[in-house]
Amino acid sequence: MKIVFSDFDGTLTLNGNLGAVFFDLLNIIKANMSELVIVSGRSISWGHFLITHFPLKHAIMEGGGVIVYKNQEGHIVEENLISDEEIKKLEDITAELKERYPECIMSADSFGRRTDRAIEFAQMSKEDVEKVEIFLIKNNVNFSRSNVHINFWVGDVSKSNGVKHFLKEYNPHVKPEECIFYGDAANDESMFEFFTNTVGVSNIISILGQLTHKPKVILEGKENAGLNGVYNHVKELFESSEDF
Ligand SMILES: [Mg+2]
């Protein structure tokens, strides 16, 4: 596998924590001349953190809205994958949403977001979440649920669109079938549809019924939840000489 793409929350973490196994995973991937690219719904600021503090070259953040990477001089560079007009429309809609629905709880990292915003739906009542979703639908604003947030955005943003752009512009010689993707939530569905090699870590079971496009391999058992599932699968994948 030339590139290992992975979601972050619930896939590279376990019960909300990033454990020591993460570094073992990075070592295996590096030893096999592959690259880990995190594709997450978290904000662009998280992308800066990941690229700065871990040996990662690229991160695709905000559900595919922006790519963060280090250039040849080692400086962090960002590429927005939506237009300035779409960014402005999102700002306006967010202001209106907050005014109309003060009960809507924006995620703490929403201030650091550029191409989407996020809502802490787990802290809100079901009725309030419904009202907010109806508002978004009426205003032609797209949204999806990760395992932590409802993310919303304007324009054609998805994890798979982010990855398609990334492969075309940053890695034109890598084919999608030479890559693998790991995920655990509904906002990973476009990736399960796009890639042939896809794996759901075992905690995906709770949302599996919501997916039209399911991962090709679904890991089972507590020992394959989140980060441990990715580690076990990657280890086996690189140890066996056979293809996926
Ligand atoms: Mg996730």
- CATH code for the domain of 110: 3.90.1070.10
Instruction: Please give the pLDDT value at position 240.
Output: 82
Residue 244 covered by a domain: no
Residue 231 covered by a domain: yes
CA 201 to ligand 1 centroid distance, Å: 10
- Quote the domain boundaries for residue 7: 3-81+157-239
113 and 22 share one domain: no
CA 207 to ligand 1 centroid distance, Å: 11
CA 160 to ligand 1 centroid distance, Å: 14
Neighbours of ion ligand 1 (CB under 5 A): 7, 9-10, 147, 184-185
Instruction: Please give the pLDDT value at position 242.
Output: 55
**Domain total of the chain:** 2
Instruction: Please give the pLDDT value at position 112.
Output: 85
Residue 19 covered by a domain: yes
pLDDT in tens, the chain (244 residues): 999 999 999 999 998 899 999 999 999 999 999 999 999 999 999 999 999 999 999 999 999 999 999 999 989 999 999 999 999 999 999 999 999 999 999 998 788 899 999 999 999 999 999 999 999 999 999 998 877 789 999 999 999 999 999 999 999 999 999 999 999 998 899 999 999 999 999 999 999 999 999 999 999 999 999 999 999 999 999 988 555 5
CA 205 to ligand 1 centroid distance, Å: 12
CA 72 to ligand 1 centroid distance, Å: 30
62 and 88 share one domain: no
Instruction: Please give the pLDDT value at position 185.
Output: 92
Residue 66 covered by a domain: yes
CA 192 to ligand 1 centroid distance, Å: 13
Question: Cα separations (Å) of 169 from 155, 165, 188?
Answer: 20, 6, 22
Query: Facing residues of 14 across strands?
Result: 17
Q: Give the chain's radius of gyration (CA, Å).
A: 18
Instruction: Please give the pLDDT value at position 88.
Output: 96
CA 188 to ligand 1 centroid distance, Å: 7
Angle between helices 226-239 and 21-31 (to 10 degrees): 20
218 and 129 share one domain: no
CA 8 to ligand 1 centroid distance, Å: 6
CA 38 to ligand 1 centroid distance, Å: 11
167 and 69 share one domain: yes
Instruction: Please give the pLDDT value at position 208.
Output: 95
**Residue 108 burial (CB < 10 Å; 0-12/13-18/19+)?**
exposed
13 and 77 share one domain: yes
Q: Comparing C-alpha atoms, which of 67, 235, 85, 82 is closest to residue 163?
A: 67
